[in-house]
Amino acid sequence: MKARQYINVMGMAAAVLLSSCVKDTLYDTPHPDKGAVTVSLTGLSADDNYVLDIDGKVADITGSPFTYPDLLAPGTYRMVVYNRVEGFTFHGRTARVNAHTDGTSVIPLPGYLKTVSQEITVTADDTLRVNAVPVQRVRDLQLELEVTQGRPELIQNVTATLSGIAGIFDMEKGQTIGEPVSTVFSFTRDGSKLTADARLLGTMGAVQTLVLDIVFTDGGRTQHTEVDLTEALADFNGNMTTAYRVTGTLETPVGMEECNAEITDWEEVEGGNASATL
């Protein structure tokens, strides 16, 4: 007697139909559960030395556009882009102007710090493309004094101390922080004109004071002049990309070794410049 085998044809047909309905899930990227971030910087040059910081983890930007090396879980992040410019010490998301050799003031001409901070939202299986525009955070200060009275050719050197300025910048918040500091720099003389340049994060505090210590060639005579620049620098923290110029006159008569000058009849002019009488 032969054994009979019964095949469930209907069951096999159902299985075939069911398997034909199963399809592979298609993704847009090789990272379906995470997102990528690509940043473009306008006008980036090879020596700009920019850094991309996302939630405290940094990567050196090697070109534009630049893709952050790590994939990120979906969510919201704080992104900071800045340039590691000379004259600053960077710690986390703060930039501090380097100290002067005297240890009590900051250097007068740090580099041109540029930063931008913004919130980004990363989506899984996608690439977020960001156009970042770093903003200049320092401003050039140009001081020009016309020597009146006395004999300017007898001036050997002029050392200036400017107090009431910022020394630390919070790159995440986009603002200066900390306590007011000072900087020390020298004037150069050309005939009867004295000029000096500084580069500042901004003014800070209620008062900005300029102290001039002048040494003359005739027997080591000195003159100490203290000037209140608060009003003259009132608009300094405005457009950081244009130089801020202060001009004035300086009296150096013989026998005037100690004097306190003041700003009188100063006025702002176009471009953020200011004129003052010292």
Q: Which residues pair with 40 in a beta bridge?
A: 131
Tokens 């002019």 sit at which residue? 269
Residues 6+ away with beta carbon under 8 Å from 153? none
Q: Please, what are the domains in the chain? A: 35-136 (2.60.40.1120), 139-277 (2.60.40)
**Residue 100 DSSP class:** P
Strands in 203-260 per DSSP E = 209-216, 222-228, 244-251, 258-260
| CB-based burial label for 272 (10 Å; 0-12, 13-18, 19+) | middle
pLDDT tens, residue order, the chain (278 aa): 445 554 454 555 444 444 445 456 788 889 999 999 999 998 777 678 999 999 999 999 999 999 999 999 999 999 999 999 999 999 999 999 999 988 889 999 999 999 999 999 999 999 999 999 999 999 999 999 988 877 899 999 999 999 999 999 999 999 999 999 999 999 999 999 999 999 999 999 999 999 999 999 988 889 898 989 999 999 999 999 999 999 988 887 665 555 544 434 444 444 544 444 45
